[in-house]
Structure 1
Amino acid sequence: MKKVSKSVFGISVIIALLFLLWGTLTPGHLADVTGDIQGFLQSKFGWFYLLAATGFLVFVIALIFTRFGNIKLGKDGEQPEYPFITWFAMLFSAGMGIGLVFWGVAEPLTHFTSPPTGEGGTQADAVNSLRYTLFHWGFHPWAIYTLIALALAYFKFRKDAPGLISATFYPLLGERVNGPIGKTIDILAVFATIFGVATSLGFGAAQIAGGVSFLSDGIPNNLATQLMIIAVVTVLFMVSAWSGLNKGIKYLSNLNITLAIALLVFLIIVGPTSFMANLFTTTLGGYFQQLPQMSLQITPFEETQRAAWTQGWTIFYWAWWISWAPFVGTFIARVSRGRTIREFILGVLAVPTLFSAIWFSVMGGAGLNAEMFGGAGIVEAMNELGTEVALFSLFETLPLGTLATVIAILLIGTFFITSADSATFVLGMQTTNGSLNPSASVKLTWGFIQSAAAAVLLASGGLQGLQTASIIAAFPFTFVLIGMGVSLFVSLKRERAAPKRSRAV
């Protein structure tokens, strides 16, 4: 514990415990206060989230085409620590694993029945539903992750700075990064991480409970079941966190990819394969064609159906990804040493986006096909039992549906463990002066707090409470991200020209 930053660790733990106490003693009051804050931020600052997320995307893409692309995230000549497949598996598992499973069927069907404009239910709405979904899970979120991870990896491995969010501000703040301003930046990162990850853990617990209740009529999908699942999985990911990065997270990340691909292959074989392929092609075309318009679309004159949709979906997602950014960015930076900036941006930005397009075309395509042409009643089940049952309602219509449900529950569980495991590492790192190997006691402390936060948010506001926490936590951290981008650019301009060729693994 001697490496613990007492001010950041102590203040963060005290504030987190006070929040947990508030939610435990008066959950209704917590839900009311946070709901009011969320409504204010969404209605008054929606434009800010849209501009920020799009600005981050433009910035990181522009870096690819500059001389900075050849710069190593490490010393010149240094080689990547992990092979590409393992690297991709680790960053992807940390990045958005639970969310992909939770929303894979549910989001396209929701946009199909409740689109930004019109009554929904048409073939045009079906096509647009996949485009909207990919928009929320494509370049924008991964650009946010790319920015923070790039800054952290560059300053940590090339400039030998501490692995702290505040350390990336040295070109702008100088020695003041070691004072109150720097500590405030790190504390904001801690809280964005806690609530961003708690949102995903809550989604995961709700979906596991939904899947278990589908398999067994005697187990209800209620709050008590969800809290029990959080407790069980907390023990599992704490064991994984105790084992360290190169054991627990590495092996479980590879297992995640294996299970995810197995689920995809299963649906491609038993589902409407040609329909999925056509939908994938159409979705990519529409996404690239309308990306600029979707990125900046908001209604300035009146509260319309589209305005409510944008606030409830796009702005929520951008806030969610921003709240996840310190966690995912720190983790991606940790496993990306030795790669060039160009290779890093292309890998982190393009590969997960392509996988997301395939994932939603298969999952969402199967759901849309079953609902539109098979009368599956998935939307009805979602309205009656909750969004979390969408995937399992689809499996009920397919051969070997029970086996697929079991695989999906295992996948959600392993994503749950790797996300929480990675978050305990990141929180430990941010509160131990950037240590790449935070002590087990620090990681276990944060493991308990983030699981407790997920439980409190579920108890006080359900899935809506989870979304509310993300939006609130993301707002102040957006300014931190903007500052990181400026600081990174200032430092890159001071670099000497890098070699034009750099062998990558």
Structure 2
Amino acid sequence: MRKTPKSPVDKVVFWGAVVISASLVAGGALWPKALSTAAQALLDKIIDWFGWSFVLSTAFFLGFALFLAFSRFGRIRLGKDDEQPEFSTSSWIAMMFSVGMGIGLMFWGVAEPITHFSTIPPELAPAHSREAAKIAMGYAYFHWAFHPWAIYAIVGLVIAYFSFRKGLPNLISSAFTPLIGEAGVRGPLGKSIDILAVLATLFGTATSLGLGAQQINSGLNYLWNTGESNNIALAIIVVMTVFFILSAISGVGKGVQFLSNLNMVVAVVLLLFLAAVGPSVFIVNTLVASIGEYLQELVPMSFRTAAFSDGKWLAGWTIFYWAWWISWAPFVGTFIARISRGRTIREFVIGVIVIPSGVTMVWFAIMGGSALYSELAGAGGIATAVKDQGPAVALFMLLAQYPAAALTSFAAILLVGVFFISGADAGSIVMGMLCAHGNLKPPSWLVALWGVLTSAAASVLLVMGGLNALQTAAIIFAAPFLLVMVGLCVSLCKALMNDQPIGVAHNSLAALRNPVRAAAD
């Protein structure tokens, strides 16, 4: 029987995460070049030696999640057999999409297809060609659709299952109970898993704040010629930090849910506007053709390694992305688990993988498709701007080519800002939960503290020119978490073999009499 903790805070996890994160941030502030060089060298070794493991395991996670959804285990509910979902389906989808990929899609929705279009490996297609545009969209889907959401789904599903169905704390370490027992979960191994999850969440969220601040800075410069500098980016981080801490301490049901719903409304309006005033026919054709390209090449892309491909390009994009999504998995997975109580495994997997992936495809078709049309048959100039000024400016260069550019650019800045707040909001709550024995409503001061620490990490490394080092550090923490994810799958399998919801046991008896009909059911 698990004992009720005396303190609301797990001191081992809290202080372990604080000391390690503070040491890394201080090292980045004092010796930015040395830390960046060392981290990059370690990252290069991880990708060179273990890049294949990211490719293979990510493909496995997708297959494993789909197997669970469409097997007999899909009927099992994440909670009691008669429990209903805590949030409506629309709010549920809005929250996980906003937290999972909000800022990333705003940042890369135009920039990634344009970058692939310009720098695609020669063996795939000539750069700046229509074939390059098609492959660019296929790879954008590949990097942002099924595979990353499957990574989130695995972590979220395992945590939700053990937390809501088995009554264990809402911690990643709790999911290892079938493998290492309660004593192991409470011991050094379990604490280490939770500390690793906090660190991955901290650095993943901090990097997201840096990207968001850079894009807001680019938008403000486009609208009002404010210039682009670290001081402006720092001011943006400070203002946004105040808002997301206020949102975080209000709780998931108020802050995150309201901001996520607002996000979806603004995003839909912006996308519909671009689809209406932009190359509508080309966008629809791009969506259809890109889905076909993606599905046709899904298996080859899923198992492509440096053996017969451009290793540098593959490492810089696909393997980098897989490691990046894994570094976000503790954060996003824990949050998705938090909002998914009462849903079946089948409903969870379909909702987490298929629906957000569909939204992502439409997003890239409108944003990326419009930019590619501009390069192929329109004003162009976006690819050059991305090459010269960086990806943060790509979205605003596209909006500048359509009516009401000032209004749509302001809406884009608002959208990035709200994604910024909701993502950091959720990250602070998750880190609070991990440091509070899995309490679904961690103390407000703890949530606020992690919000401040996250912003401090982003600010210090941004000023010192170490944002890339911070991003690299997040991926380095993802490498050991890949092993944790494999362990989560094994632990879940072991637990599911002994779990049947009401109705399944009855159907099992019927299967003895009529196995053909039972299989159809």
1:143 corresponds to which residue? 150
1:213 corresponds to which residue? 221
Per-residue CA deviation, residues 210-253 of structure 1 (Å, 9 max, x unaligned), is: 11110111x11122221221111111101111212111111001
Contact residue 458 and residue 465 of structure 1 kept, 8 A: no
Aligned residues: 497
Contact residue 149 and residue 329 of structure 1 kept, 8 A: yes
Q: Is 1:481 paired with 2:485?
A: yes
Aligned-partner Cα distance in 2 for 1:320–1:498: 39
Q: Is there any run of 5+ residues in structure 1 with no aligned partner, and where?
A: none
Contact residue 64 and residue 341 of structure 1 kept, 8 A: yes
Aligned-partner Cα distance in 2 for 1:497–1:235: 44
Alpha-carbon distance, 1:362 to partner: 0.2
Runs of 4+ in 1 over 6 A off after TM superposition: none
Contact residue 58 and residue 151 of structure 2 kept, 8 A: yes
Picking from 33, 42, 45, the partner of 1:40 is 45
Picking from 361, 366, 369, the partner of 2:370 is 366
Task: Tell me whether 118-127 or 130-139 shows the greater mean CA deviation.
Answer: 118-127
Alpha-carbon distance, 1:384 to partner: 2.0
2:496 corresponds to which residue? 492
Alpha-carbon distance, 1:386 to partner: 1.4
Per-residue CA deviation, residues 329-356 of structure 1 (Å, 9 max, x unaligned), is: 1111111110100111011110000000
One-letter code aligned to 1:57: L
One-letter code aligned to 2:25: L
One-letter code aligned to 2:105: L
Picking from 359, 363, 386, the partner of 1:382 is 386
Matches within 5 A, 1:71-90: 71-90=76-95
Q: Is 1:288 paired with 2:295?
A: yes
2:34 corresponds to which residue? 29
Aligned-partner Cα distance in 2 for 1:262–1:470: 33
Aligned-partner Cα distance in 1 for 2:11–2:436: 8
One-letter code aligned to 2:364: F
Q: CA RMSD in A?
A: 1.4
Query: Is the partner of 2:441 in helix, strand or coil?
Result: coil
1:391 corresponds to which residue? 395
Matches within 5 A, 1:347-366: 347-366=351-370
Aligned-partner Cα distance in 2 for 1:458–1:203: 10
Contact residue 199 and residue 469 of structure 1 kept, 8 A: no
Alpha-carbon distance, 1:498 to partner: 4.3
2:317 corresponds to which residue? 313
Same amino acid, percent of matched pairs: 48
Structure showing greater Rg = 2
Alpha-carbon distance, 1:500 to partner: 5.5
Picking from 149, 163, 167, the partner of 1:160 is 167
1:439 corresponds to which residue? 443
1:232 corresponds to which residue? 239
One-letter code aligned to 1:81: E
> What is the TM-score when the length of structure 2 is the normalising length?
0.93
Aligned-partner Cα distance in 2 for 1:189–1:221: 33
Contact residue 197 and residue 420 of structure 1 kept, 8 A: yes
1:109 corresponds to which residue? 114
Contact residue 29 and residue 461 of structure 2 kept, 8 A: no
One-letter code aligned to 2:276: I
Q: Is 1:413 paired with 2:425?
A: no
Alpha-carbon distance, 1:466 to partner: 4.5
Picking from 140, 148, 173, the partner of 1:133 is 140
Per-residue CA deviation, residues 304-329 of structure 1 (Å, 9 max, x unaligned), is: 6x211110011111111101101111
Aligned-partner Cα distance in 2 for 1:448–1:246: 22
Aligned-partner Cα distance in 2 for 1:223–1:32: 21
Picking from 279, 282, 290, the partner of 2:286 is 279
Picking from 201, 209, 213, the partner of 1:201 is 209
One-letter code aligned to 2:51: G
Aligned-partner Cα distance in 2 for 1:150–1:92: 16
Aligned-partner Cα distance in 1 for 2:261–2:168: 30
Picking from 349, 366, 390, the partner of 1:345 is 349
Contact residue 43 and residue 472 of structure 2 kept, 8 A: yes
Query: Is the partner of 2:171 in helix, strand or coil?
Result: coil
> What is the TM-score when the length of structure 1 is the normalising length?
0.96
Alpha-carbon distance, 1:52 to partner: 1.2
Contact residue 159 and residue 175 of structure 2 kept, 8 A: yes
Q: Is there any run of 5+ residues in structure 2 with no aligned partner, and where?
A: 1-5, 506-521
Picking from 249, 252, 255, the partner of 1:248 is 255
Aligned-partner Cα distance in 1 for 2:490–2:461: 34
Aligned-partner Cα distance in 1 for 2:12–2:467: 33
One-letter code aligned to 2:34: H
Picking from 173, 177, 189, the partner of 1:181 is 189
Picking from 452, 459, 462, the partner of 2:456 is 452
